[in-house]
Amino acid sequence: MPEKPLIWLGSSRQDVKAFPADARRVAGFQLWRIQLGLPPNDWKPMTSVGPGVQEIRICTGPEHRVFCIARLAEAVYVLHAFEKRSRKTLRQDLEIARNRLRLLLMARGEQGG
């Protein structure tokens, strides 16, 4: 399978760049795995954001998360990236990812939630 392009939505690229170096490396490697059609090493489905959305878990001291969707044929879309400071994902982070997914689906002519 050829490598899918990676498309960053909103501030997600700048947010990953703001991660500490070790978390940035892990995020990059995991996103590359997804581009190749492989699953990330540590992830869970984020159906609360939308169908097909994955949460990549990055545990390098402080917790970091990257929400992405790879089920679309043309690319892997990075919806949101953030440092997780509590056990539960904040509503604000879920809303940012939901809104970016909705805009992406609307731009593709799909139902946007």
Quick check: pTM over 0.75?
yes
Give the tens place of pLDDT for each residue, 50-88: 999 999 999 998 899 999 999 998 999 999 999 998 889
Question: Is 113 a residue whose pLDDT tops 70?
Answer: no
- Residue count of the chain: 113
Longest dimension (CA), the chain: 40
Q: Which CATH number applies to 6-107?
A: 3.30.2310.20
Asked if residues 7 and 75 have their Cβ atoms less than 8 Å apart, the reply is: yes
d(C-alpha 27, C-alpha 25), whole Å:
5
Per-domain residue ranges of the chain? 6-107
